[in-house]
Homo-oligomer: A and B are copies of this chain.
Amino acid sequence: MKKRVTLKQIAKELDISVSTASKALRDSKEISQDTRDKVKAFAKLYNYKPNTIAISLQNRRTKNIAVVVPEIVHHFFTTLVSGVEKVANAQGYNVVVCLSNESFEQEVNNMEMLANGRIDGFILSLSKGTLRKKDYRHLQEVMDQGMPVTLFDRITDEVMCDKVVIDDALAAKKAVTHLLDRGCKRVALVTTVDYVSVGCERTRGYMNALKNVGIEVDDQLILKIEDMDTCVSEIQEFLSKIEFDGVFGVNELFAVSAIKAAQKKGLRVPKDVAVVGFTDGILSQQFSPSLTTVVQHGYDMGQTAAQMLIDRLESDSDLAFTTQVIQADLVKRESTAVAIKVT
């Protein structure tokens, strides 16, 4: 087991001082070309790599950024992490991933654990627990200590920081409008409880779309789901007793469950009922019928969020906070295809 070689050892071997060795490796012109070469050759030979921890301690920057997500087994969040990874790595940063599991306490704990010098900044999507509690002191605290935070997707107006989101209301409106354009008259909505910012926005978009064409919102057609674990049966129960010819589900699972529930009722998709979802994951793409859905471009969001954070980390003047809105698109697939009329 050959231990890592340090600057001190190099210095001793070459009979120079540590400072000379350090400067030589960094190509300081203070050092003669001769010694520079010598030191570099030696360093290469012994595979010297500077100790990152020591450097971090020195300049009080770790080149680590944390991504805190409610859960990771979820297409949108994983693509986002991918995007963050990409731009972070390209700029010499490492990404430490933390899961809040939708819990306020875990979110707080994780942030405290990381804020003590381990990382330079946070990229975070609020947990449901936090959204319900509306307690954002842990965010404010790290920011007060000069540690930047970039919020994404599930955000709040109550803390001032960089944010990156999609226009959920607009995207939802587009989705529902697509349904309406297709001729749907009674569009059901399967959404989340209101404290989830994005769910709420999407609900708003649904209503806007209806108002836009003069259809009154019918509460009978709206299902708000609290517990993801029981959503499948809830949706089935809900759809079994209403009349509808379209469904907008605010995520993949809701949409797919709606399709299955409709089919169980003897309705054909897309012939009798058209369905639109949210998030373009593997399920939307591969389900049969494939799902018309809103694509959130999580990869792009991740890249944007990471870049915003890094920009702030690397600028000395303090930038004004901005909110970036990422374009969301509706991708049309089989679940809303217009039936080909056989005349």
Contacts and interface: CB of A to CB of B under 8 A. Distances in A.
Interface of A: 1-4, 49-54, 56-57, 62, 64, 71-75, 78-79, 81-82, 85, 89, 92, 94-99, 110, 112-118, 144-146, 252-253, 256-257, 260, 263, 281-283, 286-288
Residue among A62, A94, A112, A114 with most chain B CB within 10 A? A94
Given A53-B62, A72-B81, A82-B73, A94 B114 contact: yes
Given A75-B73, A96-B64, A3 B116 contact: no
19 contacts: A1-B146, A2-B145, A4-B116, A50-B116, A51-B117, A53-B53, A53-B56, A53-B57, A53-B62, A53-B117, A74-B78, A89-B98, A92-B113, A94-B113, A95-B96, A96-B97, A282-B282, A283-B283, A287-B288
A1 B145 contact: yes
A51 B57 CA distance: 9
Copies in the complex: 2
Residue among A85, A112, A117, A253 with most chain B CB within 10 A? A117
Given A49-B115, A72-B82, 17 more contacts: A1-B146, A2-B144, A3-B145, A4-B145, A49-B112, A50-B116, A52-B116, A54-B117, A57-B57, A85-B97, A95-B97, A97-B97, A252-B282, A253-B282, A281-B282, A283-B286, A286-B287
A45 to B, nearest CB: 15
A300 to B, nearest CB: 14
A73 B64 contact: no
A78 B73 contact: yes
Nearest to A74: B78
Contacts of A117: 51-54
Contacts of A286: 253, 256-257, 283, 287
A3 B96 contact: no
A53 B113 CA distance: 12
A1 B118 contact: no
Contacts of A74: 78
The 8 closest A-B pairs by CB, nearest first: A53-B117, A97-B97, A96-B96, A51-B117, A49-B116, A52-B117, A73-B78, A52-B116
